[in-house]
Amino acid sequence: MNLGGSGDPHSLEADQVVSAIERACESDLRTALRLVARYSAYWWSHGLQDEAAAAAERVLSMLGRTVPVGLDEEYLLAVIHGAASAEQEQVELAQQVVLTTTGPFRYSVTVLLWSLVFGPFEPADVVEDVLERNESGDAWTRAAVELCRGYPALTRATPGDAAQALRTALGRFRMLEDRWGMFLALNALRHVVDEPLDVTTEALELAEHLCLAEETGLLLCERAELYRRLGKLEDAHADFSRALSIGEHADLVETVAAARVGLARTARVSGNLPAARAHLSAVLAIPHLDIAHQEALHELSVLNASEASA
């Protein structure tokens, strides 16, 4: 995978990367922008999107609406990272970079990150054009193109074609021994296969290997729910409990809430109504989680009905 530089960024710690960019911001904005682009894959493959956003926002705040000559794609990547806080004019400049680029992107990761961040808000024909332009890239880029073709709502692909594209992407990432790419393909594939248990399990194993805490917690909850529907309540309880532990350790309140709702459902089905009520009460005590509160209240109504009919 071409990261746009000669070194291996994966050997550096996240704080060293950010420090290097901050130093460059003080002396050479062009170098700072190149560093943001160079470490794009490093950040995303290690679950460090917040760090990427912080670095990109720092550089963009100093660049404003100026795209340095010869660094169009680097500017685009910075806007992708800092999309949540970028100025509208900066987003429009980034969009122009995409529309005026006639060949493949220079950085392998650009087509993937653009598709994931901006692709869902673009017309399908624009996404298809970007993907077609990058089909001539290196092996990693070609795998990423297939991955994007299979993502829901990005293109006009039918469910069958989307599943096949994701399987193709998965096979290519396997050949490249790229665990991050494999994880992304599996994570998308689990939404389009009829029996997602095995795919979810493999995605979970990769998320754990990549130390992606939030994704690991989510996948544990997803697999636990599959187990619960299959009647494997002990397995469901074990996965929900692991997700709860991860969520509490990493301060992921949404994961904590999802795990507790799952544990409540599992406990109710198992006949342990007091435990179910305790988990739901804990969820309702977490502030500012409207969706989780709605799920907890719904489960609480089911629980009350179960107790009334007992």
User: Model confidence over 238-282: pLDDT tens digits?
Assistant: 999 999 999 999 999 999 999 999 999 999 999 999 999 999 999
Cβ atoms of 145 and 161 within 8 Å: the answer is no
Cβ atoms of 217 and 243 within 8 Å: the answer is yes
Distances (CA, A) of 69 to 29, 60, 98: 12, 15, 15
Name the amino acid, one letter, at 65.
Answer: R
Looking at residues 165-192, what average pLDDT do you find?
97
Task: Name the H helices within 6-157.
Answer: 14-27, 29-38, 40-45, 49-63, 72-81, 88-100, 110-117, 124-133, 139-150
DSSP string, 67-82: --TT-HHHHHHHHHHT
CB-CB neighbours of 88 under 10 Å: 7
**What does the mean pLDDT of the chain come to?**
93
Distance, in Å, from the CA atom of 181 to the CA atom of 171, rounded to the nearest integer, reads 10
State the first-to-last Cα distance of the chain, in angstroms, to the nearest integer.
60
CA–centroid distance for 22 within its chain: 26
Confidence of residue 152 (pLDDT cuts 50, 70, 90): confident
Distance, in Å, from the CA atom of 182 to the CA atom of 47, rounded to the nearest integer, reads 15
Lowest mean pLDDT among 17-21, 93-97, 232-236, 281-285: 17-21
CB-CB neighbours of 51 under 10 Å: 19
Distance, in Å, from the CA atom of 38 to the CA atom of 53, rounded to the nearest integer, reads 14
CB-CB neighbours of 2 under 10 Å: 14
Distance, in Å, from the CA atom of 268 to the CA atom of 261, rounded to the nearest integer, reads 11
Name the amino acid, one letter, at 202.
Answer: E
- The length of the chain is 310
Distance, in Å, from the CA atom of 258 to the CA atom of 291, rounded to the nearest integer, reads 10
Q: For residue 9, is pLDDT > 80?
A: no
Name the amino acid, one letter, at 211.
Answer: C
User: Model confidence over 78-91: pLDDT tens digits?
Assistant: 999 999 999 999 99
Alpha carbons within 13 angstroms on the beta-carbon side of residue 55 total 35
Q: For residue 6, is pLDDT > 60?
A: no
Q: For residue 20, is pLDDT > 70?
A: yes
Distance, in Å, from the CA atom of 31 to the CA atom of 21, rounded to the nearest integer, reads 8
Residue given tokens 């994880």 in the structure block: 183
User: Model confidence over 22-54: pLDDT tens digits?
Assistant: 899 998 999 999 999 999 999 999 999 999 999
Alpha carbons within 13 angstroms on the beta-carbon side of residue 163 total 11
Cβ atoms of 125 and 157 within 8 Å: the answer is no
Name the amino acid, one letter, at 280.
Answer: L
Show the beta-strand stretches assigned E in 137-178. Answer: none
